[in-house]
Amino acid sequence: MSAGERRVRVAIVNYGVGNLRSIYRALEIAGASPVITREIVALERADAIVLPGVGAYVAAMRFINSIRDKFINILLEKPVLGICLGMQLLFEGSEEGGFVRGLGLLKGYVTRLPANVKLPHMGWNHVRIIKEHSHLISGLPKKTFMYFAHSYAPPVNDSYTVAITEYGRPFPSIIESGNLFGMQFHPEKSGRHGRILLANFVRLVREEHAKNTL
């Protein structure tokens, strides 16, 4: 971040489960001013929203459904980054915990990875970029390694898939659709390339905020 540049306000949604300090610190390093919150007013005031990758689908949606309409309206108005579970919440629903309705901002359903691989998918794996025009991946090599921890994943779809990973089946590991961004891995645990992705997201948020305040 250059001297004099404003630190954008990024709200990390607290579903009520898990430790969010790692992503908080990673966003601080990336140049943001993060806050962990579940308050509508704080979400409305933020320049961007992060849906973190901690917790279970059903528990996260239980909180979101308590403020569903207002929450979706907020997500439609500003940049959103979903990480792991947070990315999965953007879809129509998930098999995790039976069948749980998601936010429905992206088409498709989150399903369990195949039984012929060890679950959860835990550790480092390849991320292969298939859409190089995305500003989110600026500075990344076409193939890199990121850190994963999940048993479920959404389907690959040309309309939003930026990068693909293989584990039992191919799944989107980076997505982008309008103001929605997602990573199935944990960028805050993925070393230098994870830091690049978070810095790119913060830069995109700063650019969007500057455009909207002209």
Q: How many CB atoms lie within 10 A of CB 196?
A: 19
CB-CB contact of 128 with 163 (8 Å): yes
* Helix (H), strand (E), coil (C) string for the chain: CCCCCCCEEEEEECCCCCCCHHHHHHHHHCCEEEEEECCHHHHHHCCEEEECCCCCHHHHHHHHHCCHHHHHHHHCCCCEEEECHHHHCCEEEECCCCCEECCCCEEEEEEECCCCCCCCEEEEEEEEECCCCCHHHCCCCCEEEEEEEECEECCCCCCCEEEEEEECEEEEEEEEECCEEEECCCHHHCHHHHHHHHHHHHHHHHHHHHHHCC
Q: Is 39 a catalytic residue?
A: no
Catalytic residue among 28, 96, 188, 209: 188
Q: Is 188 a catalytic residue?
A: yes
Active site residue 207: no
- Residue whose pair of structure tokens reads 């992705």 in the numeric block: 197
Q: Which of 84, 96, 150, 176 is catalytic?
A: 84
Question: Which of 121, 166, 186, 207 is an active site residue?
Answer: 186
Which positions are catalytic?
84, 186, 188
